């Protein structure tokens, strides 16, 4: 971990939206954000390229903190990992 990375949130929530197309990754993020207390980190995994700007826009509109987005890969293929800190009942 580098100095600019956030430590893993042991109480965080993972949203696996891989293979889902717009607008489903955002819908899943919004649903998860409504269920968690402020300060929780929600990690969204998505294969839809539109999710990258969509999640950033959702954070701006809902007052959530976008901690980072990075494209990565595993045995199943390439996907976007977005980390969002929920700051209020989004």
Residue 76, classed as helix, strand or coil, is coil
> Of 73, 6, 74, which is closest to residue 40 (Cα–Cα)?
6
Tell me the per-residue pLDDT of 44-61, one tens digit each, with 9 for 90 and over. 999 999 999 999 999 999
pLDDT 10s digits, 1-43: 444 445 555 679 999 999 999 999 999 999 999 999 999 999 9
Task: Identify whether the C-beta of residue 25 lies closer than 8 Å to the C-beta of residue 48.
Answer: yes
User: What does the DSSP 8-state code read for residue 49?
Assistant: T
What pTM did the predictor assign? Answer: 0.86
Domains of the chain, with CATH numbers? 13-85 (3.30.110.40)
């Amino acid at each position: 971990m580098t100095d600019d990375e956030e430590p893993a949130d042991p109480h965080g929530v993972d949203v696996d939206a891989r293979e889902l197309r717009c607008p489903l990754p955002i819908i899943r993020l919004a649903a998860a954000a409504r269920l968690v207390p402020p300060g929780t980190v929600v990690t969204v995994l998505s294969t839809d390229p539109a999710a990258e700007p969509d999640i950033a826009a959702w954070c701006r509109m809902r007052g959530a903190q976008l901690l980072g987005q990075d494209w990565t890969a595993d045995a199943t293929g390439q996907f976007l990992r977005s980390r969002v800190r929920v700051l209020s009942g989004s």
